[in-house]
Amino acid sequence: MPAEAQKNPMENLLPGLKHWKLSVDVDGIAWLLMDRANERVNTLGEETLAELDKVLDHLQSNQPLGLVIRSAKTAGFIAGADIREFEQFTDANSVTEKVKQGQAVFHRLESLPFNTVAAVDGHCLGGGYELALACNYIIATDAEDTRIGLPEVKLGILPGLGGTVRLTERVGGMKGMTAILTGKMYRARQARGLGMIDEVVGPHANLRWAARRAVMKKRKFKGASFSARMTNTGPARNVLAGQMIGRTKKKANPDHYPGPYKIIDLWKEHRDDRNAMFEAEATQIGELMVSDEARGLQRVFHLMERLKGLGKSDEFKCRRVHVIGAGVMGGDIAAWCALRGMEVTLQDREMKYIEPAMQRAKKLFKKKARSKHEASATLARLIPDVDGNGVARADVIIEAIFENKEAKQDLYRGIEPRMRNDAVLATNTSAIPLEELSSVLSNPERLIGLHFFNPVAKMPLVEVVYAENSSNDMVERGSAFCGQIGRFPLPVKSSPGFLVNRVLASYMLEAMNIYDEGVSKEEIDAAATHFGMPVGPIELADTVGLDICKSVVTTVGGKDVSKAVDRLTNMVEAGTLGKKSGNGFYQWSNGKPVRETPQNEMLAKMDNIDQLAERLMKPFLEECKACSADGIVEDDDLLDAGIIFGTGFAPFRGGPMHYMKTKQS
């Protein structure tokens, strides 16, 4: 795309612009390219919107045949509004006024008397998609990284530049509100199927010519269907809003995440009056933007971007992975790597141990792949390998056998002579220090930890564990590998339990102590979710697996763990391993715990819930302090990131260290 722009001999009509380039071709079509100065990606801020307003002034005075808006960057179309600018505000009215200024610019774009086309390649999110919605016609490439959506709800806010208005007009209330409330980022063909965009061209097609054709043929959005328009009517809104609130409450506590509920109210109350809806949108985003919840979620966004940066490397590219151990963790790690485009060999003692992992992989590929052909191609990259022939060719070797130091050491003795000198050797151990495991290697500095979390396909964090003698090169390669498979790498110092399990062990131990005092598992889990945790500690123990919990608690639990260890030992020996065996502390049905009292009812009737939540979280937070003091990670920001993405710690609180600091202030 930038190459095309460079080849285009058209003169820049407004040379004083810093972030935009405007030109008109021989057919009279205006081409407006965004290239935000000194930034890798395009975002919309006060300066970029002011310049866009100048461009629109010029176009209204010198009307072209039509206008095409594109990006001059390879990193995508427009990634959204520049959150950094809004974070400076502490007053809701100031945010609202800035948003209204942006709305006015998009109103001018929407009102231009000639055809306007948004030509999208790459990410078109938030304010970027709101700009596209203000155009007459939207074309997007079917490139791998093209994503369309309004993810503002994930930042604790709502679309403020007309997104709630224009998207529900375009696709109807039901589809539009679903997209806004979930914050989902859609692939181009998914977005086209929903009516969010008008045309899809292949990733290698000439987007420029597709956009030119759309202008010449005066193509415009055809308008929402009758059924879609009906979902915006008053009677339908009343019914649908109630359903939306019910579904949202299952996922988001309104006390913790008010954004989705304000979005529903906005649509329900104002959809009949377009101008009033724009006004309310600007007011609501102002109130949400300065809230503690939004501040916490925006902090999480920045932490996520930092973790992503740790996984970016041009020095190391992994093409082949060898996984040893086809249990739940090993098999799912192998499947995920294959899904991300790598050739994967999966080793275990006999084929009968690999077969269940292959069946789980088939289900994952069917769910995640875009087509049957892609699912089949992905499955072909996952190769059973009982003899371990993949060791010699692998760029990364991941050991994921059971938690036993001697067994792991025996394995390393056997595979080290067969490995390439530059290959990464990693263990998925949950708690065993690297120094103990690597002592049998002739080159101990090559061993690192790549500690995944269960379920692999959902948990975004991987702890990249290093010892004092670990090779920096291997740690960097491990982090780059995580980035290549779409996971956030967190470098952590080797110590019992590393970061996440060390914190979780104290948390789950306290939960078991409370359980032994006669408090029900439902009450304990309800108190944790009341604080903002995604699941309670008892359900979490079942989900992780009671055998794994036993190993972690034994390794890192500290004093007074004998009672908990005895309980877990008895349960494991009886075959009650938690979710994976169908029973643990809970009975499990269809992947969900069976509760004697539904959690919402439990929350409503508990009068000591705040005190119970505080008691549960106290050892959790104290252990975070201890990890910080021990230097388990580089700094407290990375500690917060690891705990949020590794344990699900209440995101709206911005991380445990941040929470404790703000609580004290």
Tokens of 496: 């019992």
Cβ-in-10-Å burial (0-12, 13-18, 19+) of 277 comes to buried
Quote the crossing angle between the two packed helices 537-544 and 521-531, to the nearest 10°.
100
SS3 30: strand
- Going from the C-alpha of 21 to that of each of 18, 133, 329, the distances in angstroms are 8, 21, 50
DSSP one-letter string for 553-595: HHHH--SS-HHHHHHHHHHHHTT--BGGGTBSSSEEETTEEEP
Closest among 308, 288, 282, 310 to 652, alpha carbons compared: 288
What sign for the dihedral angle of Cα 381, 458, 299, 622? negative
Q: What is the Cα gyration radius of the chain?
A: 27
Give the single-character DSSP code of 156: T
> Measured between alpha carbons, how far is 464 from 470 in angstroms, rounded to an integer?
11
SS3 178: helix
> Measured between alpha carbons, how far is 132 from 138 in angstroms, rounded to an integer?
6
Cβ contact 131:109 at 8 Å: yes
Q: Which amino acid is at 655?
A: G
What sign for the dihedral angle of Cα 206, 207, 210, 215? negative
Neighbours of 149 (CB within 10 A): 25
Cβ-in-10-Å burial (0-12, 13-18, 19+) of 25 comes to middle
Catalytic site residue from 19, 322, 451, 658 = 451
**Catalytic (active site) residue 451:** yes
Cβ contact 68:31 at 8 Å: yes
Helix (H) or strand (E) holding 399: strand 396-399
> Measured between alpha carbons, how far is 259 from 180 in angstroms, rounded to an integer?
11
66-71 and 20-24 beta bridge pairing: unpaired
| Torsion, Cα of 546, 550, 555, 556 (10° steps) | 70
> Measured between alpha carbons, how far is 489 from 307 in angstroms, rounded to an integer?
6
> Measured between alpha carbons, how far is 498 from 647 in angstroms, rounded to an integer?
13
Tokens of 125: 């999110």
Closest among 151, 444, 419 to 301, alpha carbons compared: 151
Residue with tokens 């379920």: 455
Task: Tell me the backbone φ, ψ of residue 398, rounded to 5 degrees.
Answer: -115, 120
> Measured between alpha carbons, how far is 45 from 361 in angstroms, rounded to an integer?
43
- Going from the C-alpha of 289 to that of each of 97, 99, 277, 298, 588, the distances in angstroms are 13, 11, 18, 9, 40
Active-site residues, by number, are 451
